[in-house]
């Protein structure tokens, strides 16, 4: 019987090795010598096939909440990530000034970054003017998925009204056992199943596990109402403070990707790395390497 810790380390190492090999990051001395001795081999080698991942990876800008937009853009270039779930934190996507929002959008466009979602945006006040302003914020940015935190039964009818007016999907984010309403995606789907089909879920897999719900099972249950997914990993399902780089914990990332593929999920898996806020890049790099390795292995 394989020790589970050893098995996880083996799988993690295999995933990272897949990425390194697919990008040419690893070359043995023997391979280097062969290439040097046979220059013609490098010119006649067949090009590698391009692997198109079955799951699209993006970034939640909250990961870099302690950094400016310019720094965020530089980090995304280093990560080779072009798809962003932007939050009104620092100057990532300001919500209080249309001019400041336009400046942010221009910066992202100039650097080839596409915004596919905004949030988390809080819709917990039954204030129609406030809710309308948040829809306007997303409309100005041409964003059609609003990741929503803590809407209440009182605000949902107002939210549904503006979903219909603006044709913007609402992805309610589950926040685990501490959340007064949305412990897991199952609570979300039970509450919205009779509302407009553009109201659904953003599954946070870490909070989902802490609520005692298997994220892969939740993906199948939510089905077409899944509009965004936040990726992270935990070393202990009983502790929200046990977050680690993706691949170092105990969440079944491969099983989650398999569920997304099986349900024909067309949205993004956004890394939301919430630890080491002043120096997140080492963990972020490792997390994307692990997820890309798993996806390349599946492809």
Q: pLDDT digit string (tens) for 219-248?
A: 999 999 999 999 999 999 999 999 999 999
Judgement on whether residues 192 and 44 belong to the same structural domain of the protein: no
> Which structural domain, as residue segments, surrounds residue 40?
1-50
- In this structure, of 47-56, 198-207, 284-293, the range with the lowest mean pLDDT score is 47-56
Return the structure tokens found at 108: 């992202």
- In this structure, of 17-21, 101-105, 122-126, 273-277, the range with the lowest mean pLDDT score is 17-21
Judgement on whether residues 158 and 278 belong to the same structural domain of the protein: yes
Mean pLDDT, residues 14-29 = 41
- In this structure, of 13-22, 205-214, 215-224, 250-259, the range with the lowest mean pLDDT score is 13-22
Judgement on whether residues 201 and 285 belong to the same structural domain of the protein: yes
pLDDT at 71 over 50: yes
Judgement on whether residues 120 and 197 belong to the same structural domain of the protein: yes
Q: Which residues pair with 145 in a beta bridge?
A: 169
The whole-number pLDDT of residue 41 equals 43
Of 94, 64, 65, give the one whose Cα is nearest residue 77.
64
Judgement on whether residues 44 and 162 belong to the same structural domain of the protein: no
User: Strands 83-86 and 114-122: what pairing?
Assistant: parallel
CATH of the domain at 96: 3.20.20.150
The whole-number pLDDT of residue 51 equals 60
Judgement on whether residues 16 and 164 belong to the same structural domain of the protein: no
pLDDT at 252 over 80: yes
Judgement on whether residues 253 and 268 belong to the same structural domain of the protein: yes
pTM: 0.83
The C-alpha atoms of residue 209 and residue 141 are separated, in whole angstroms, by: 32
pLDDT digits (tens, 9 = 90+) for 283-299: 999 999 999 999 999 98
Confidence of residue 153 (pLDDT cuts 50, 70, 90): confident
User: What integer best gives the mean pLDDT of the chain?
Assistant: 88
* Helices 215-222 and 253-262, axial angle in degrees (round to 10): 10
The C-alpha atoms of residue 210 and residue 171 are separated, in whole angstroms, by: 19
Judgement on whether residues 107 and 252 belong to the same structural domain of the protein: yes
For 201, residues 6+ apart whose C-beta sits below 8 A from its C-beta are 171, 172, 173, 174, 185, 188, 189, 222, 225, 226, 227, 228
pLDDT at 39 over 60: no
The whole-number pLDDT of residue 6 equals 40
Confidence of residue 101 (pLDDT cuts 50, 70, 90): very high
The whole-number pLDDT of residue 40 equals 46
Number of domains in the chain: 2
Judgement on whether residues 265 and 287 belong to the same structural domain of the protein: yes
pLDDT at 131 over 80: yes
Judgement on whether residues 140 and 172 belong to the same structural domain of the protein: yes
Judgement on whether residues 25 and 75 belong to the same structural domain of the protein: no
Judgement on whether residues 43 and 81 belong to the same structural domain of the protein: no
The whole-number pLDDT of residue 54 equals 84
Question: Residue 224 half-sphere exposure, CB side, CA atoms within 13 Å?
Answer: 4
In degrees and rounded to multiples of 5, residue 183 shows phi and psi of -65, -45
């Amino acid at each position: 019987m394989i020790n589970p810790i050893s098995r996880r380390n083996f799988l993690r190492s295999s995933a990272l090795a897949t990425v390194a090999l697919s990008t040419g990051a690893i070359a043995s001395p023997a391979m280097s010598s062969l290439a040097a001795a046979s220059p013609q081999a490098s010119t006649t080698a067949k090009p590698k096939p391009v692997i198109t991942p079955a799951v699209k990876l993006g970034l939640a800008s909250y990961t870099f909440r302690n950094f400016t937009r310019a720094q965020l853009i530089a980090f995304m270039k280093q990560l080779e990530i072009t798809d962003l779930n932007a939050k009104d934190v620092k100057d990532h996507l300001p919500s209080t000034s249309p001019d400041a929002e336009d400046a942010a959008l221009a910066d992202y466009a100039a650097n080839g970054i596409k915004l596919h979602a905004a949030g988390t945006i809080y819709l917990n006040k039954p204030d129609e003017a406030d809710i309308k302003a948040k829809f306007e914020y997303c409309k100005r940015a041409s964003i059609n998925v609003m990741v929503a935190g803590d809407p209440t039964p009182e605000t949902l009818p107002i939210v549904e009204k503006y979903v219909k007016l603006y044709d913007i999907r609402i992805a309610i984010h589950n926040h685990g056992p501490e959340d007064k309403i949305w412990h897991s995606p199952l609570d979300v789907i039970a509450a919205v199943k009779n509302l407009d089909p553009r109201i659904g879920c953003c599954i946070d897999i870490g909070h989902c596990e802490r609520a005692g719900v298997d994220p892969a099972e939740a993906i199948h249950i939510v089905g077409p109402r899944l509009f965004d997914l936040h990726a992270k990993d935990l070393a202990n399902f009983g502790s929200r403070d046990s977050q680690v780089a993706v691949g170092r914990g105990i969440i079944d990332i491969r099983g989650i990707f398999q569920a997304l593929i099986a349900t024909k999920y067309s949205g993004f898996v956004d890394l939301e790395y919430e630890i080491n806020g002043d120096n997140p890049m080492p963990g972020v790099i490792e997390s994307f390497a692990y997820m890309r390795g798993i996806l390349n292995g599946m492809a």
